[in-house]
Amino acid sequence: MRTIRFLLQKEFTQIFRNKPIMGMMMIVPIVQLLILPLAANYEVKNINLAVVDHDHSTYSQKLVSNITASGYFRLISFGNSYSKAYQLIESDQADLILEIPPDFERNLIRDNKQKVLIAVNAINGTKANLGGAYLNTIIRNYNEDIRMQFVQNEKKSPIPLIEIKPVNWFNPLMNYNLFMVPGILAILVTMIGSYLTALNIVKEKEVGTIEQINVTPIKKHHFILGKLIPFWVLGLLVFSLGLSISFIVYGIIPLGSLLLLYEFVALYLLSVLGLGLLISTYCETQQQAMFIAFFFVMIFILMGGLFTSVESMPPWAKIVAKLNPVTYMIEVMRMIVLKGSGFNDILPHLVKVLLFALFFNSWAVWNYKKTS
């Protein structure tokens, strides 16, 4: 214990003297938590719509009014020339074209059917899919309203209806901040923990102090623990800072146990810090460590389920996601913060993260080459 205490004193002294590291740990999480949730939003609004109306009837005008009143679309062009509307698509001024054919109202009343054309600018796939889905839903609802009017006018009596009342569990108002902030906080803890530890041992190699440590009787596991514990403590402080910002700025209060959340984060930090230390044992320069750490962290983020649901991934990607500790961190953050899950609910994730921590740290200790 005396050896580890001296190592911890040395590490904390080096960390507090390094102002860029302190700034990275304290300022970066604040800035990113204030900016990223505003941009990471799955809802698409202000979709530019060009309408080509060849009918100019009451029904066509009502349809356009329903579309613009939804709040998702911005009408940038209204005319009777499809070629002009297509030019807006080519110049990226319009995202969708809705073409209403001639005799739209007459055919709808007489033949009880009519077709409209929806042309979508599919360069931005997400915006195209969501925009087309929004427009289809609005037209479908408009069609149901018209059919209901026809039936009531014919029978002179109301028809039976099935009323659907959806209930959004755990996030009733569909607040994207409530969904995204816990996941973004998990990513920040991962990035800071893995990057800083990946650079730690490598810095000792570059300045030459690693040779002085290697000739001492310090054991390998003591050395790794001395590198691990300071960043583990600072990682918990960064997480506490992020949790405070989530409460102050976004009003997010965990429904589950705060103690359980910290227990999981403490164990999760051991796994990502172990990965950073493992990377540093293989690298000779900080540049090498940064590139390798960036490579793994980017894969972890993209395959962790923050921006893309794991269930919607192809089979091979699901296997990668199961081997990704970030996946379990994001899931547990949302389970405890949004659902109020207990210990038994997160136990499978806890076991998997424990295995990751044992694997990475054992490998780091084994791979650290100490000469005497």
Same domain membership, residue 319 and residue 186? yes
Same domain membership, residue 234 and residue 149? no
Does a structural domain hold residue 260? yes
Measured CA to CA, the distance from residue 235 to residue 192 in angstroms comes to 8
Please determine, for residue 342, whether its predicted confidence score (pLDDT) is greater than 90: yes
Last residue of one domain, picked from the residues 127, 155, 183: 155
pLDDT of residue 370: 62
- Helix, strand or coil for residue 368? coil
Average pLDDT over residues 252-272: 94
Same domain membership, residue 309 and residue 194? yes
* Cα 334 versus chain centre, distance: 11
Please determine, for residue 351, whether its predicted confidence score (pLDDT) is greater than 80: yes
Alpha-carbon distances of 36 from 173, 194, 335, rounded to whole Å: 20, 20, 21
Q: Please name the residues in contact with 293: beta carbons below 8 A apart, sequence gap of 6 or more.
A: 194, 195, 198, 199, 276, 279
270-279 pLDDT, tens digit per residue, is 999 999 999 9
Does a structural domain hold residue 167? no
Please determine, for residue 322, whether its predicted confidence score (pLDDT) is greater than 50: yes
Does a structural domain hold residue 336? yes
Tally of CA atoms within 13 A in the half-sphere of 288 that contains its CB: 13
Average pLDDT over residues 147-155: 62
pLDDT of residue 348: 95
Last residue of one domain, picked from the residues 128, 155, 182: 155
Please determine, for residue 107, whether its predicted confidence score (pLDDT) is greater than 60: yes
pLDDT of residue 100: 92
In terms of residue numbers, what domain contains 150? 47-155
Same domain membership, residue 9 and residue 76? no
Same domain membership, residue 192 and residue 148? no
The pLDDT mean for the chain works out to 85
201-230 pLDDT, tens digit per residue, is 888 788 777 777 777 777 878 888 888 888
Does a structural domain hold residue 372? no
Same domain membership, residue 34 and residue 81? no
pLDDT of residue 152: 58
Highest mean pLDDT among 27-36, 60-69, 159-168, 190-199: 60-69
| Class of residue 363 by CB neighbours under 10 A (exposed 0-12, middle 13-18, buried 19+) | middle
CATH number of the domain within which 102 lies: 3.40.1710.10
Measured CA to CA, the distance from residue 237 to residue 262 in angstroms comes to 11
Does a structural domain hold residue 160? no
Q: Please name the residues in contact with 268: beta carbons below 8 A apart, sequence gap of 6 or more.
A: 189, 325, 328, 329, 353, 357
φ/ψ (deg, to 5) at 61: -65, -40
- What pTM was computed for the model? 0.79
Does a structural domain hold residue 342? yes
Does a structural domain hold residue 166? no
Same domain membership, residue 53 and residue 35? no
pLDDT of residue 196: 83
pLDDT of residue 31: 85
Last residue of one domain, picked from the residues 121, 155, 189: 155
11-47 pLDDT, tens digit per residue, is 788 777 777 777 777 787 888 888 887 776 666 788 8
Same domain membership, residue 150 and residue 135? yes
Same domain membership, residue 77 and residue 13? no
Tokens of 167: 């209930």
φ/ψ (deg, to 5) at 42: -80, -10
Average pLDDT over residues 180-191: 89
Does a structural domain hold residue 225? yes
pLDDT of residue 6: 76
> Which has the closest alpha carbon to 278: 293, 258, 291?
293
pLDDT of residue 153: 55
pLDDT of residue 159: 53
Count the domains in the chain. Answer: 2
Same domain membership, residue 123 and residue 209? no
Same domain membership, residue 83 and residue 34? no
Same domain membership, residue 333 and residue 279? yes
Q: Read off the pLDDT band of 130 (50, 70, 90).
A: confident
